[in-house]
């Protein structure tokens, strides 16, 4: 029994659940709320779950509802959630590799050299150093912009810079403004810095470390790095072009903006659904085609072992490679002169289909529990919760308690579920000493 509880696929959900409970208790204290009253338990639990799972969805106005102490708690929960998920995901990858035979481990380390780090302590220190360096750089840029460009007092500028740098890098989505980052829709310094922080955090540490070592030799990059970089670039390009085309004349979003601001807003909105969760225009005013595309981007998310949520961009594009190989009639799935193992393909398919099932179930539950909610609205909110994206059509605060509980469950499952499922599948892999006769049932 004790050995069963120590299984990595059980440790991760338990650790996050413990952090959520601790965060909810802190946020329920009177000192965490502006004024003399304390926050209701459901509000504290929702906010703590959103912060630890770095979702960013809020049911109350963060800058006015929470006190300075409460905002610090939210920031620390985002940091713990972001660093914890990255560290645990990377360490679980090492645990999986150490459970394999020596030959398989050497092959895995040759194909993914970013995982061949040495001991666990070195891995965590390297991750912590990267986190602090990137967040410090973001804090300096944002703090100086708030101080010099908007004449904030030095202390306030530093606080806003720190909070939003941590929120963006950890894909947390929380902001110290009631309308997220809408007041900065045309500010290139702030929007590009936030987008860059989110993209870097969403790429994943195995890819970042490999790029640091092998950036001069792209031919030697692993299949993971190739898939994540290609997928990230493709999704950013598609999102940017679509947002610019569909929202150009929309009077509720891009219409009133000048051409440079429209270009910036399109790029910002293409990056944010990948789990960063901030917004510089009102998503509730977007056309249906734009919100549908945003739902797809939120569902895909960022890279594995990153701060982003979703089924992960490498999962999605690996399946795209599988489909393309099948269309061409090729026996093997090849990425960058590397053949992808059949077990990896099945794991990607399992994670994707389970994600579809979870979002579909949540959407139907939301439509059932909240009267007057349209299917497209419920799908957007549930996908945002599952993908820990933090975007909303301004619907979540108006939902009844049962519906908000559904979103809490989706945020939790979306954050720890994909890692748990992928790790459990890898650790439970076994080989039979016999094979049944092959049969090919009709497909399609």
Helix (H, G, I), strand (E, B) or coil at 101: coil
The verdict on residue 435 lying in a domain is no
Mean pLDDT, the chain, rounded, equals 84
Higher pLDDT residue, 115 or 331? 331
Alpha helices in 99-203 (DSSP H): 102-111, 120-144, 154-169, 188-203
Q: How far apart are CA 323 and CA 344, in angstroms?
A: 14
Average pLDDT for residues 177-204, to the nearest whole number? 93
Average pLDDT for residues 115-131, to the nearest whole number? 66
Task: Give the CA distances from residue 69 to residues 31, 166, 432, in Å, rounded to whole numbers and listed in that order.
Answer: 7, 16, 56
167 CA to centre of own chain: 12
As given in the structure block, the two tokens for residue 109 are 């380390």
The verdict on residue 241 lying in a domain is yes
Q: Residue 344, exposed/middle/buried by CB under 10 A (0-12, 13-18, 19+)?
A: middle
Check pLDDT > 90 for residue 403: yes
Check pLDDT > 90 for residue 15: no
DSSP state of 335: E
Query: pLDDT tens digit string along 261-279?
Result: 999 999 999 999 987 889 9
Query: pLDDT tens digit string along 17-75?
Result: 888 999 999 999 999 999 878 899 999 999 999 999 888 889 999 999 999 999 999 99
How does residue 302 score in pLDDT terms, banded at 50, 70 and 90? confident
Rg (CA), the chain: 22
Helix (H, G, I), strand (E, B) or coil at 89: helix
Q: How far apart are CA 91 and CA 361, in angstroms?
A: 31
pLDDT given for residue 438 in this prediction: 74
- Residue 386 CB: number of other CB atoms within 10 A? 31
How does residue 105 score in pLDDT terms, banded at 50, 70 and 90? very low
The verdict on residue 356 lying in a domain is yes
345-380: b or e for each residue (b if 16 or more CB lie within 10 Å)?
A: bebbeebbeebeebbeebbebbbebbeebeeebbbb
Residues in CB range of 336: below 8 A, 6 or more apart = 221, 222, 223, 226
Q: Residue 175, exposed/middle/buried by CB under 10 A (0-12, 13-18, 19+)?
A: buried
The verdict on residue 444 lying in a domain is no
Instruction: Tell me the sheet residues that pair with 66.
Output: 33
349 CA to centre of own chain: 19
Least confident piece of the model among 22-36, 273-287, 298-312, 427-441:
427-441
Query: pLDDT tens digit string along 155-182?
Result: 999 999 999 999 999 988 899 999 899 9
Average pLDDT for residues 303-323, to the nearest whole number? 87
Measuring CA to CA, which residue among 247, 248, 244 is closest to residue 267?
A: 244
The H or E element that residue 70 is part of is helix 68-98
3-state SS track over 214-260: HCCCHHHCCHHHHHHHHHHHHHHHHHHHHHHHHHCCCCCCCCCCCHH
As given in the structure block, the two tokens for residue 41 are 């338990």
Average pLDDT for residues 344-367, to the nearest whole number? 91
pLDDT given for residue 113 in this prediction: 40
Q: Are 309 and 412 spatial neighbours (Cβ–Cβ below 8 Å)?
A: no
Task: Give the CA distances from residue 121 to residues 107, 151, 167, in Å, rounded to whole numbers and listed in that order.
Answer: 23, 42, 26
Q: Are 244 and 262 spatial neighbours (Cβ–Cβ below 8 Å)?
A: yes
Task: Give the CA distances from residue 358 to residues 173, 250, 299, 305, 365, in Å, rounded to whole numbers and listed in that order.
Answer: 22, 33, 11, 21, 11
pLDDT given for residue 306 in this prediction: 78
**What are the CB-based long-range contacts (under 8 Å, 24+) for 188-191?**
188/264, 189/141, 189/145, 189/149, 190/142, 190/145, 191/264, 191/265, 191/267, 191/268, 191/280
The verdict on residue 85 lying in a domain is yes
As given in the structure block, the two tokens for residue 128 are 């912590």
Query: pLDDT tens digit string along 220-233?
Result: 888 888 889 999 99
How does residue 112 score in pLDDT terms, banded at 50, 70 and 90? very low
How does residue 117 score in pLDDT terms, banded at 50, 70 and 90? very low
pTM: 0.86
Query: pLDDT tens digit string along 378-387?
Result: 999 999 999 9
pLDDT given for residue 429 in this prediction: 57
C-alpha angle 234-384-26 in degrees, rounded to nearest 5: 130
Check pLDDT > 60 for residue 3: no
261-287: b or e for each residue (b if 16 or more CB lie within 10 Å)?
A: bbbbbbbbbbbbbbbbbbbbbebebbe
User: Structural domain tally of the chain?
Assistant: 1
The verdict on residue 145 lying in a domain is yes
Higher pLDDT residue, 359 or 103? 359
Average pLDDT for residues 95-118, to the nearest whole number? 44
Q: Are 159 and 237 spatial neighbours (Cβ–Cβ below 8 Å)?
A: no
Average pLDDT for residues 69-83, to the nearest whole number? 91
Q: Are 186 and 260 spatial neighbours (Cβ–Cβ below 8 Å)?
A: yes
Q: How far apart are CA 14 and CA 387, in angstroms?
A: 20
The verdict on residue 365 lying in a domain is yes
pLDDT given for residue 1 in this prediction: 46
- Residue 132 CB: number of other CB atoms within 10 A? 11
Please give the residue range of the domain that contains residue 147.
2-427
pLDDT given for residue 93 in this prediction: 55
Phi first, then psi: give them for residue 240, nearest 5 degrees: -65, -50
The verdict on residue 436 lying in a domain is no
pLDDT given for residue 440 in this prediction: 72
Higher pLDDT residue, 417 or 104? 417
């Amino acid at each position: 029994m004790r050995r069963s509880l120590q299984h990595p696929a059980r440790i991760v959900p338990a650790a996050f659940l413990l952090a959520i409970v601790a965060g909810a208790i802190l946020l329920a204290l009177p000192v965490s709320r502006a004024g003399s009253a304390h926050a209701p338990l459901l509000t504290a639990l929702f906010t703590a779950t959103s912060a630890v799972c770095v979702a960013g969805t809020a049911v109350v106005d963060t800058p006015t509802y929470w006190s300075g102490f409460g905002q610090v708690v939210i920031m620390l929960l985002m940091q713990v959630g972001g660093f914890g998920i990255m560290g645990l995901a990377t360490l679980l990858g090492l645990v999986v590799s150490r459970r394999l035979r020596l030959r398989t481990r050497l092959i895995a380390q040759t194909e993914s050299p970013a995982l061949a780090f040495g001991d666990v302590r070195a891995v965590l220190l390297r991750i912590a150093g990267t986190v602090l360096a990137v967040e410090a750089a973001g804090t300096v840029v944002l703090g100086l912009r708030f101080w010099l460009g908007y004449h904030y007092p030095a202390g306030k500028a530093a606080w806003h810079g720190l909070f939003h740098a941590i929120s963006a890098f950890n894909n947390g989505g929380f902001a110290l403004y009631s309308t997220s980052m809408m007041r900065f829709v045309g500010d290139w310094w702030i929007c590009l810095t936030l987008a860059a922080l989110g993209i870097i955090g969403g790429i994943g540490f195995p890819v970042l470390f490999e790029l640091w070592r092998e950036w001069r030799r792209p031919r030697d990059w692993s299949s993971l790095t190739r898939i994540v970089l290609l997928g990230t670039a493709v999704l950013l390009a598609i999102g940017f072009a679509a947002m610019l085309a569909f929202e150009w004349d929309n009077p509720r979003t891009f219409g009133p903006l000048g051409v440079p601001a429209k270009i910036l807003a399109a790029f910002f909105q293409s990056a944010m659904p990948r789990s960063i969760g901030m917004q510089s225009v009102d998503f509730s005013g977007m056309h249906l085609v734009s919100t549908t595309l945003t739902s797809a981007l939120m569902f895909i998310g960022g890279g594995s072992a990153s701060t982003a949520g979703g089924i992960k961009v490498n999962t999605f594009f690996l399946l795209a490679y599988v489909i393309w190989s099948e269309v061409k009639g090729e026996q093997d799935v090849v990425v960058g002169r590397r053949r992808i193992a059949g077990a990896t393909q099945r794991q990607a398919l399992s994670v994707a289909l389970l994600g579809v099932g979870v979002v579909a179930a949540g959407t139907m539950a939301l439509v059932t529990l909240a009267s007057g909610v349209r299917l497209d609205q419920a799908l957007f909110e549930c996908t945002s919760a599952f993908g820990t994206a933090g975007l909303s059509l301004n619907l979540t605060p108006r939902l009844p308690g049962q519906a908000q509980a559904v979103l809490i469950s989706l945020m939790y499952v979306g954050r720890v579920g994909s890692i748990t499922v992928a790790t459990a599948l890898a650790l439970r892999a076994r080989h039979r000493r016999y094979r049944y006769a092959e049969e090919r049932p009709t497909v399609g």
